Amino acid sequence: MFVSNLPRLGLSAVLALLPSLSLASDLDGGKWRSSEVTLHTNLNHDVFPGVDWHYQMVKAADAWNSGVDGIQLNIENGDYQPCAGVSYFDIPGDGNKNVAVFADTWCGLSFDYFTLAVTLNFYEGDYYTERDIIFNSNKQWEVNGAANNQPRYDFYRVAVHEIGHFLGLDHEEDEEIATVMYPYYGAQRNPSADDLQGLNILYSDEQAIRLNLEEPIADRLYTGIGNIRGWAVARDRIKKIELFIDDKFISRIPFGGARGDVGNAFPQYPRAQSAGFSMAYNWGLLRPGRHQVRVKVTDDNGNESSTSTEIVSGLMSTAFVDSAERVEITGPISVRGKNEIILQQVEVDGRRYQVDLGWDKGTQKWDIRYIQER
């Protein structure tokens, strides 16, 4: 939604029984089921005679078609009306024809002063069944106009933005990102690399979310305080990453850490360079034995992905040893193989344990591999 005195480029209204607003993410949650979709233009209007608005729509569609694989948008003339077949608007059905029109209302509802155009969305599950674009005929329009030539507005610029909605993009509110999907009328006339990337991911076979849990490691013994870490990338923005142990929710995991390796491996995903997540966890809080550790990622569109592993928690007399004075090595130390150290007797608060240490390449430190009270 637009909240300043700048003209609105468009609102994306999802029609169920009544319109509601969707905004502020890269993808709006839906897509076209077919790899080819047609948008009809019915743009003849007495207020703006002598301009080939249909041709401007063809050019705007080509700006997307030239950079997006997996979806082809065709522009054809057609005498259809938006909101057709929706009982709330009392307009006869037309077989779910997508149409772009000039009108002084959107299906009988008034434009506010700042809105230049709207895209109306009809869904069936996760897929669009119809999308209509309505350009506000109360505004003054021109072709190839400058961004600062108000009160006249460049039709092509707005058409490119609205077709972005039509294909599946929502508003991008981050002013640091070059995008034609910024919600205010401005200098950007054509889709940016970020805009095209969003649609290429949406219409590719890529998973909505990719997730990798790097630590803890399956079947490894864990005691004391350690890391839960990994990375996650998503077609849309990640909303939250959660930790569950034995199916019990523990905490949200902070995310957004720098991961250049992931960004290089998955350049097709936005924000892959900051895919890292990590938190500290005290394994001593768990009872001794096997436990399932699960991480779940949820994006802004409700897509979810989980991964899990089983670990073994070690036996200690207390969950947290707050002083080195409470720990004493009182028995012999031996070596097994090339990278294992055996502490044959360690006393903690007077209780005796055998502790085996092994070198871990991932954490670059000696980890406890085995612990047993003697």
pLDDT for res 15: 29
d(CA 120, CA 130): 8
pLDDT for res 126: 80
Residue (of 67, 181, 72) closest to 119 by Cα position:
181
Q: Which residues of the chain have pLDDT under 70?
A: 1-29, 45-49, 85-92, 145-150, 315-320, 362-363
- Placement of tokens 């076209």 in the chain: 32
Q: What is the pLDDT of residues 124-147, one digit of tens each?
A: 888 898 999 999 998 888 887 666
pLDDT for res 86: 64
Q: Cα-Cα-Cα-Cα dihedral of 203, 36, 128, 10, to 10°?
A: 80
Residue type, 55: Y
pLDDT for res 41: 94
**Pair 178, 194: CB distance under 8 Å:** yes
Residue (of 92, 96, 53) closest to 75 by Cα position:
53
DSSP 184: B
d(CA 359, CA 374): 23
**Pair 35, 23: CB distance under 8 Å:** no
Could you write out the DSSP letters of every residue in 230-288? EEEEESS-EEEEEEEETTEEEEE--EEE--HHHHHH-TTSTTGGG-EEEEEEEGGGSPS
pLDDT for res 17: 25
pLDDT for res 19: 30
Alpha carbon distance, N-terminus to C-terminus of the chain: 66
Tokens of 139: 């505004």
pLDDT for res 146: 66
Domains of the chain: 11-202 (3.40.390.10), 206-314 (2.60.40.650), 321-374 (no CATH)
pLDDT for res 1: 23
pLDDT for res 280: 95
